[in-house]
Structures are given as structure tokens and as C-alpha cells.
């Protein structure tokens, strides 16, 4: 699952441009993650600030 | 906002504003929709533009010029530097803009020409009829409106979502997104007339770090690195913080700016039925410099000119709009992008040793014409052995 660290995010749209699924959308100062996000982590890698995290949430 | 327009422009940056102004001046009904609540803010730009590039569209006005440039300097990984003098190119080679004011000026012009402008107005989907774009669904303060249009110009910047919703893949390859961070700093010692570029794999991997003057003691201090080189602990911001701590430890940051700049090849096709894509959304940023303002204005104007004749002739299909796609590709803008992409691919593979040797091959260089092409030509001339591989690509340097 992709998480946005909202205090870190600069709402710049860098992540939006590289998402292969088109799952991210910047709505003013709010980054929306669509249901089609696959958790691939490309966005987390390119974020200039480190505001995105992919977390494994498989229940133990 | 009317229910329908001849032309709907999505995005109120320089590309969208020039498109809207050009079309409105020719008598088209135009709506310019910007999703942010203010034109020009937040800034996502280092704000540099060449003198001729700017004056082709607007007379330089002190209200949106932060600095006038008289030269540039490139600093190698080992600290040696090369000063570029515009001795033969005239004294003013370029400007650092104040994009907040500049973008407003362009949108004011569009409005004065007769375009409607809607801010805080976000597009969420195209209106499609038999696969052709016929407008867009817009949202403004909780209201949803369907706005019809003969043609939509997508000028929605690096995010480039509108074209994606129309079925065009605008994804930027990870290695070709410049992930960028910039501080507008003040109270720092700089030359207010010179842009400084720092290169090297430890300074800015596959990108560069810049100090662009914004006044006597202020500058945009920023960096872009390849997405492929970015990750935890080594992001654009990490590199920038390290540079600032060593170079401007007592400077004050008065604006925190981030963004992404595409340095890939342009979209394979920038039109479809009823749709034209301009500027960053079309991936027409100069891949070598990362500069996008002029290319956005250029493609915006050309798209609007194509829209004017298409609408006058009552045909807005892809084959008619292809005149725009062919037009910019065959223009100096299209040719420069194609050439600079190849030069960029060469430079991103360069070792620090090579950067050092190249930059220390001259301490100053007088340029006839102040352009990256001229700089590369001069470097090849001075370093025929070092840049042998690039010289092989000499067809690029004509």
C-alpha cells in the first residue's frame, strides 16, 4: 500500500508523471491515490522529498 | 463560464496562457482553466530563459524580471571552473524571471484578448464523442460542469493527466524524470549577473545543480537528479541540503520549491481527434538544459494557430491537427529537442574525471551565440580526443 507523508509532500506532481498506472492525481494540496495503484514504488523512488512510502500490510 | 467554447485550454502556465491569448485574439471563444487557486503559484521552476526566447513573446518588463544575465559559469567536480562570456553575443544573454508575476502577465494578456479564465477549476475527464475530444468535465468549488469545446488544448504540465484520460500514455521513464528541489535563498554572496552550474556524479548524478541569481544577494539554488539515482538518503533534497550547508551556510531560505522535469523524448504523437498537447504535458522540455518555458509558449502558440484554422474550416480531426505535430517537430524547437536528447544521453554517462578534464580545458570561453549547442561545439573543438565519441555524432552539431 502506498502512503503519503502529508507533512513531507511538496505537492509538486513529480510522482504523478512517472506512475505507469496513472493512479496518482494532484488535487491542489492533496495527492490522491487511485484504486489502481499497484504499490510498485516508482513514485516513492523519484519523490524529491521522500514523501511516499510503500508499506507491506499483509496481516500476520 | 459558458457551457461551450470554441477552445478549452487546460492549464494556466505559459503554454496554456499563450495558446489562450493567440486563439482569443483571432476571435475564438476560449476558456482557460487552471486547477490551482492562483496563476503562477506555487512555482515549479528555476526561472531561467534566454533573451531572444523571451522577447519573441513578450518585451522584458522589470515587473517580472528578477535578474539580467551577463554570463554563465560551469563548475567541475574538482572545483575548476569555466566562465562563459557573451563577448560576441551582446551584453544581455538572458533573464531569471519572477514566474509568479510572469505567468500572471501572460494570463492577463489572454484575458485582455477576450479569453475567459477560471481558477480553482480542475478537469477530471474529457467529454468524448466517438473517440473525439469534445470538451471536459470541470470542477469548481464543489460544482461539476460539462464544458463543450471544438478543441481542447492540454497544457497541464508535468503531470499531464488530461491526455492520459484521452488514452495517450504520457508516463515519463524513471531515468528521465529530473527529480528536483530548489530553495529561494537570500543573504548569500553571489554574482547577481551570472548563472552557475555544478556538475558531477557526487554533486548531481545525471543532472546538475544551479545557482540562478534573483537579485543582488538572492538566488534560486536548486538541483535536478535522475529519478534512477534517487532513493532514501540520496534524494534531490539531500544533495541540495549538503551543497547549501557547505556553500551558503548562513543563507536564509524564503521559499521551498520542488518539482519534476521530464528530459525524455517528446510524446510520439501530440494530437488526437479534438485534442492538442503542448509544453511540459507534451514532454517538449529541452532534455539537455531542462528549460521548458519557451518551448511551452512556442507549442502553445502553434497549437492555437492550428486550432484557429481547424475551427474556421469546421474540421478538428486528428489528421487536420497533425499540422501542429508536424509543425513543432520540424521547427528549430523540435530539432533542438531531438539533438539535445542525444547530447544529454552522452553527458549523463560521463565520468567525473572527464568532466574535470573538459572543464579545465579552458578557464574562459567567448561565445558568438549564447547557446548550449555553441558551448558543446566549442568544447568539442578544444577537446577533440576527449570528446571523440561526441564528435562522431557531429551530424548533431551542425
Query: SS3 for chain A, per residue?
Result: CEEECCCCCCCCCHHHHHCCCCCEEECCCCEEECCCCCCCCHHHHHCCCCCEEECCCCCC
Q: State whether residue B167 sits within 8 Å of chain A by CB.
A: no
Tell me, what's the pLDDT at A33? 97
How large is the average pLDDT for residues B133-146? 97
Reported confidence tier of residue B369, pLDDT bands at 50, 70, 90: confident
Percent of chain B at pLDDT exceeding 90: 87
Entry pTM: 0.96
Q: State whether residue A5 sits within 8 Å of chain B by CB.
A: no
Percent of chain B at pLDDT exceeding 70: 96
Shortest Cα–Cα distance, A17 to chain B (Å): 5
Tens of pLDDT, residue by residue over B264-278, are 999 999 999 999 999
In a domain, A60, yes or no: no
Reported confidence tier of residue B380, pLDDT bands at 50, 70, 90: confident
Sequence ranges of the domains in chain B: 4-41+100-172+267-330, 48-98+173-262
Tell me, what's the pLDDT at B133? 98
Shortest Cα–Cα distance, A14 to chain B (Å): 4
Tens of pLDDT, residue by residue over B209-228, are 999 999 999 999 999 999 99
Bin B160: left if φ > 0, else alpha if -120 < ψ < 50, else beta: left
Tell me, what's the pLDDT at B375? 87
In a domain, A41, yes or no: yes
* Full residue range of the structural domain in which residue A23 is found: 2-54
DSSP B172: P
Asked if the model's pLDDT at residue B393 lies above 90, the reply is no
Nearest to B192 by CA among B70, B79, B109, B305: B70
How large is the average pLDDT for residues B76-98? 87
In a domain, A39, yes or no: yes
| Chain A hits for B158, Cβ within 8 Å | 13-14, 16-17
CATH 3.40.718.10 fits B48-98+173-262, yes or no: no
Is B12:B18 a contact under the CB 8 Å cutoff?
no
Reported confidence tier of residue A60, pLDDT bands at 50, 70, 90: low
In a domain, A59, yes or no: no
Ranking B9-23, B167-181, B274-288, B383-397 by mean pLDDT, the lowest is: B383-397
State how far the alpha carbon of B323 is from the alpha carbons of B9, B51, B132, B306, in Å.
18, 28, 17, 7
State how far the alpha carbon of B140 is from the alpha carbons of A4, B35, B79, B119, B226, in Å.
25, 8, 51, 8, 35
Angle between helices B99-112 and B14-25 (to 10 degrees): 20
Q: State whether residue A18 sits within 8 Å of chain B by CB.
A: yes
Placement of cell 521513464 in the chain: B173
Chain A to chain B Cβ contacts (< 8 Å): 89
How large is the average pLDDT for residues B128-155? 97
Tell me, what's the pLDDT at B91? 67
Q: State whether residue A7 sits within 8 Å of chain B by CB.
A: no
pLDDT, greater one: B93 or B328: B328
Tell me, what's the pLDDT at B395? 63
DSSP codes of every residue in B63-107: TTEEEEE-EEEEE-TTS-EEEEE-TTT-S--EEEE-HHHHHHHHH
Tell me, what's the pLDDT at A16? 98
How large is the average pLDDT for residues B234-238? 98
Cell numbers linked to B28:
475564438
Cβ within 8 Å of residue A52, ≥6 positions away? A2, A3, A4, A5, A9, A15, A43, A44
| B4-41+100-172+267-330 CATH fold | FAD/NAD(P)-binding domain (3.50.50)
| Chain A hits for B237, Cβ within 8 Å | 48-50
pLDDT, greater one: A26 or B377: A26
Cβ within 8 Å of residue B18, ≥6 positions away? B57, B106, B110, B296, B297, B300, B301, B304
pLDDT averaged over every residue in chain B: 95
CA distance B398 to B282: 26
Shortest Cα–Cα distance, A47 to chain B (Å): 7
Reported confidence tier of residue A59, pLDDT bands at 50, 70, 90: low
Which B-chain residues 225-244 have CB contacts (< 8 A) with chain A? Answer: 227, 230-232, 235-237
CA dihedral B81, B83, B84, B88 (to 10 degrees): -150
Tell me, what's the pLDDT at B361? 86
Nearest to B80 by CA among B352, B350, B359: B359
- Domain CATH for A43: 3.30.70.20
Placement of cell 553575443 in the chain: B89
Tell me, what's the pLDDT at A21? 97
CA distance B180 to B261: 7
Common-topology check for domains B4-41+100-172+267-330 and B48-98+173-262? no
Is A44:B177 a contact under the CB 8 Å cutoff?
no
Q: For chain A, what is the domain count? A: 1
Q: Do A49 and B181 touch (CB under 8 A)?
A: yes
Give the ipTM: 0.95
Tell me, what's the pLDDT at B385? 74
Asked if the model's pLDDT at residue B89 lies above 70, the reply is no
Amino acid at each position: 500500500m502506498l502512503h503519503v507523508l502529508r507533512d513531507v509532500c511538496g505537492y509538486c506532481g513529480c510522482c504523478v508523471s512517472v506512475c505507469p498506472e496513472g493512479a496518482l492525481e494532484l488535487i491542489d494540496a492533496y495527492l490522491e491515490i487511485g484504486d489502481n495503484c499497484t504499490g510498485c514504488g516508482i513514485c516513492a523512488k523519484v519523490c524529491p522529498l521522500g514523501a511516499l512510502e510503500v508499506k507491506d500490510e499483509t496481516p500476520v | 463560464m459558458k457551457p461551450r467554447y470554441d477552445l478549452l485550454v487546460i492549464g494556466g502556465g505559459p503554454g496554456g496562457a499563450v495558446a489562450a491569448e493567440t486563439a482569443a485574439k483571432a476571435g475564438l471563444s476560449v476558456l482557460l482553466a487552471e486547477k490551482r487557486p492562483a496563476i503562477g503559484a506555487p512555482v515549479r521552476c528555476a526561472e531561467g530563459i534566454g533573451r531572444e526566447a523571451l522577447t519573441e513573446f513578450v518585451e522584458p518588463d522589470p515587473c517580472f524580471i528578477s535578474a539580467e544575465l551577463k554570463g554563465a559559469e560551469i563548475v567541475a567536480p574538482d572545483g575548476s571552473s569555466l566562465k562563459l562570456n557573451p563577448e560576441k553575443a551582446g551584453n544581455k544573454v538572458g533573464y531569471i524571471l519572477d514566474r509568479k508575476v510572469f505567468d500572471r502577465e501572460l494570463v492577463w494578456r489572454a484575458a485582455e484578448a477576450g479569453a475567459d479564465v477560471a481558477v480553482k477549476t480542475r478537469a477530471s475527464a474529457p467529454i468524448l464523442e466517438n473517440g473525439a475530444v469534445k470538451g471536459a468535465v470541470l470542477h469548481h468549488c464543489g460544482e461539476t460542469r460539462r464544458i463543450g469545446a471544438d478543441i481542447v488544448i492540454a497544457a497541464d504540465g508535468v503531470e499531464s493527466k488530461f491526455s492520459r484520460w484521452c488514452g495517450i500514455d504520457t508516463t515519463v521513464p524513471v531515468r528521465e524524470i529530473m527529480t528536483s528541489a530548489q530553495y529561494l535563498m537570500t543573504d548569500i554572496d553571489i554574482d547577481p549577473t551570472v548563472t552557475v552550474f555544478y556538475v558531477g556524479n557526487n554533486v548531481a548524478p545525471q543532472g546538475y545543480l544551479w545557482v540562478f541569481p534573483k537579485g543582488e544577494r538572492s538566488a534560486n539554488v536548486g538541483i535536478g537528479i535522475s529519478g534512477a539515482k534517487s532513493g532514501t538518503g540520496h534524494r534531490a533534497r539531500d544533495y541540495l541540503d549538503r551543497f547549501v550547508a557547505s556553500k551558503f551556510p548562513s543563507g536564509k531560505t524564503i521559499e521551498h520549491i520542488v518539482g519534476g522535469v521530464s528530459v525524455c523524448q517528446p510524446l510520439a504523437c501530440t494530437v488526437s481527434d479534438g485534442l492538442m498537447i503542448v509544453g511540459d504535458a507534451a514532454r517538449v522540455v529541452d532534455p539537455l538544459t531542462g528549460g521548458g518555458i519557451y518551448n511551452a509558449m512556442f507549442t502553445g502558440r502553434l497549437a492555437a494557430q492550428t486550432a484557429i484554422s481547424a475551427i474556421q474550416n469546421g474540421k478538428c480531426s486528428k489528421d487536420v491537427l497533425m499540422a501542429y505535430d508536424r509543425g513543432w517537430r520540424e521547427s528549430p524547437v523540435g530539432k533542438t529537442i531531438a539533438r539535445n536528447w542525444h547530447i544529454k544521453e552522452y553527458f549523463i554517462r560521463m565520468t567525473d574525471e572527464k568532466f574535470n578534464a573538459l572543464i579545465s580545458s579552458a578557464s574562459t570561453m567567448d561565445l558568438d551565440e549564447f547557446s548550449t549547442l555553441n558551448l558543446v561545439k566549442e568544447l568539442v573543438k578544444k577537446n577533440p580526443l576527449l570528446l571523440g565519441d561526441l564528435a562522431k555524432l557531429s551530424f548533431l552539431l551542425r
